[in-house]
Structure 1
Amino acid sequence: MDILVLIGRILFVLLFLGSAVGHLTKTKVMAGYATSKGLPAATAATAGSGLLLLVAALSVLLGVWADLGALLLAVFLVPTALLMHRFWQESDPMARQQEMIHFEKDMALAGACLMLLAFFSHTGHDLGLTLTGPLFHIR
């Protein structure tokens, strides 16, 4: 089971690592998009969220307080869905559909992150192939 969970962790964080790289290397472009969505302090928010994504994804990947990393990913995903993908405000049907897809994807991933939080926390040191045990102890 340890190998299967490790493979799952690797596959899961690829999306977040790629997004972190984008946030940190294309900050101006991504901040422009955030500004168009009405986000204040978009450059700082883009850089900060890039760092959050990087730390959280590496936490899950390496198994260093992976439960905290999963929680941090959820903390990123829920506000992102609510602030950046407000499909209910779109009047164009195509744009509305695209934003709804992104909103639902972010919310589904947030749910998966919460399940990972519970899984890592409950499994604790028995999981194996991690550098540390969990920070939280949910029973």
Structure 2
Amino acid sequence: MDVLVLIGRVLFVLVFLGGAVAHLTKTQAMGAYAASRGIPAPVPATIASGLVMLAAGVSIAFGIWADLGALLIAVFAFPTAVLMHGFWRETNDEARQTEQTHFLKDTALGGAALMLIAFFSYVGDDLGLTITGPLFGIS
């Protein structure tokens, strides 16, 4: 089971690590998109979100307080869904569909992150192939 969980952890974080690289290397372009969505201080917000995704991705992939990493993903994903992908604001049908897809993807990933928090907390130190056990003791 440990190997399957490790594979799942790595596959889960690939989207966040890729997003982190984009946020941290294409900061001006990503910041311009954030500005178009009304995000205040878009370039610093882009850098901050990139750092959150990077820290969370590394945390989950390597099993360093993976429950905290999952919490960071949830804290990132839900506001991103609402602030960046508000499909209800779109007037163009194609743009609305694209944003709705991104909104649902972000909410699904946030939901999966919530499940990971519970999973890591429940399994505790018994989960192999991690560097640390969970930070939180949720029962």
TM surpasses 0.5: yes
Percentage identity across aligned positions? 64
TM-fit CA distance, 1:138: 1.3
Normalising by structure 2, we get a TM-score of 0.99
- Which residue of structure 1 aligns with residue 50 of structure 2? 50
Structure 1 alignment gaps of length 5 or more = none
Normalising by structure 1, we get a TM-score of 0.99
Q: Would you say 1:64 and 2:64 are equivalent positions?
A: yes
- Which residue of structure 2 aligns with residue 102 of structure 1? 102
What is the letter of the counterpart of residue 43 of structure 2? T
Q: Following superposition of structure 1 onto structure 2, how do residues 117-128 of structure 1 map, counting pairs within 5 Å?
A: 117-128=117-128
- Which residue of structure 2 aligns with residue 34 of structure 1? 34
CA distance in 2, matches of 1:91, 1:20: 30
CA distance in 2, matches of 1:10, 1:85: 25
CA distance in 2, matches of 1:40, 1:90: 20
- Which residue of structure 1 aligns with residue 114 of structure 2? 114
TM-fit CA distance, 1:34: 0.4
Q: Would you say 1:89 and 2:89 are equivalent positions?
A: yes
Q: Following superposition of structure 1 onto structure 2, how do residues 6-17 of structure 1 map, counting pairs within 5 Å?
A: 6-17=6-17
CA distance in 1, matches of 2:107, 2:7: 23
Aligned to 1:128, the other structure's residue is in SS state coil
- Which residue of structure 2 aligns with residue 138 of structure 1? 138
Instruction: Spell out, residue by residue over 1:26-58, the C-alpha distance to the aligned partner (whole angstroms, 9 max, x if none).
Output: 000000000011111000000000000000110
Give the paired residue count.
139
TM-fit CA distance, 1:70: 0.2
CA distance in 1, matches of 2:98, 2:22: 20
Tell me the C-alpha RMSD between the 2 structures: 0.5
Aligned to 2:6, the other structure's residue is in SS state helix
CA distance in 2, matches of 1:3, 1:85: 34
TM-fit CA distance, 1:109: 0.4
What is the letter of the counterpart of residue 102 of structure 2? H
